[in-house]
Homo-oligomer: A and B are copies of this chain.
Amino acid sequence: KAIDELTFGIAEIEKAGFDHFMLKEIFEQPEAIENSMRGRALPNEGQVRLGGIREHIDRLRNAKRIIICACGTSWHSGLVGEYLIEEYARIPVEVEYASEFRYRHPILSKDDVVIAISQSGETADTLAAIREAKAKGALVLGICNVVGSSIARETDCGIYTHAGPEIGVASTKAFTAQVTVLVLLALALSQKRTLSDEQTKDIIQDLYQLPKKVQEILNLNEEIFEMAKVFKDARNFLYLGRGFNFPVALEGALKLKEISYIHAEGYPAAEMKHGPIALIDENMPVVFIANKDSSYQKIISNIEEVRSRKGRVIVIASEGDNDIDKLAEFVIHIPDAMMPLMPLLTVIPLQLLAYHIAVLRGCDVDQPRNLAKSVTVE
């Protein structure tokens, strides 16, 4: 049996001056994103090189259908992956809960590709889904953070996230590293097909700006802490977003739920009118992700509906969009990027919000009740 050498030192698994691993890991995201793209996205050539999938790249590009299987936070990065791959590579993608996928005789053939996403690479349901997919002849690609994990070993090919060890039970930097890798994968599937080198170059150059922009958002930590103080006693939260920011709304809600035990739920913003709006009264904080893009006006009208029912509005908005300030109780202004890259920015204030609310409520953020870091039972 081969021995895998650990590639990180003991210092990295200490808190390095932060109060909690989770906060340290949130602050490590500029580096996690950078490390996950370094040597892979070539900004001058307008190309992406992913050694772990090179042998299978033709089969991947010719996939009739891609099915992404994951659980929890990785399922949310899978949803971002669906939007990315459909947008850039124009291959139909479906995202499945691994636990559901494996039990319902999935329709799979050798023309299909299954992508399994798991930080630990040990998630039991995801591992079982991989085995089912392989038995049916699909090509299986793994996206894991832990080198040599079961999923990394059992997949046909893969791409590691380079987030470094994640200790906090609620995943943060693993999510942004997964999304970074999914951007690279979408570009690899698109180059010389649906995207020109010029287009790829533009996207990669925007991608290279992200670590700096994430740092700018982290610098808003104090402001987000002040906002957390106002909302720490809320009993419920809604998170709403559209398009690429819909999965971020789900992820923001999951973070709050996991570590603060507040019942938070994410929805695509337009679904609010089909039910959840009944929950809204003066006690309900609603977080909108409303960066400037093609659906901006729709989100503004959703915000106005919540206001007219006296809901408490928090908005993640674009830098410079000061018009929105008068519609909300709190606005966090963050830098913009190309729309498909926005999840890597919009998720950051939501992680910090969840963190501060949980700490203010006296919760053990690194070891939330009832949760395990990796779910290795079914």
Contact = CB atoms under 8 A, between A and B. Distances in A.
Interface of A is mostly: mixed
Given A257-B279, A263-B263, A278-B370, A104 B83 contact: yes
Contacts of A107: 86, 90-92
A75 B106 CA distance: 21
Contacts of A259: 278
Contacts of A258: 275, 278
Given A235-B235, A263-B265, 19 more contacts: A72-B271, A72-B274, A75-B274, A83-B104, A90-B107, A91-B107, A92-B94, A99-B268, A100-B246, A236-B236, A257-B276, A259-B278, A261-B281, A270-B378, A273-B372, A277-B370, A278-B368, A298-B378, A309-B369
Interface string A54-84: 0000000000110000011101000000010
Interface residues of A, number: 59
A87 interface: yes
A103 B271 contact: no
A279 B261 contact: yes
Contacts of A276: 257
A243 interface: yes
Contacts of A242: 99-100, 103
Interface in A78-133: 83, 86-87, 90-92, 94, 97, 99-100, 103-107, 125
Given A278-B261, A371-B275, A92 B104 contact: no
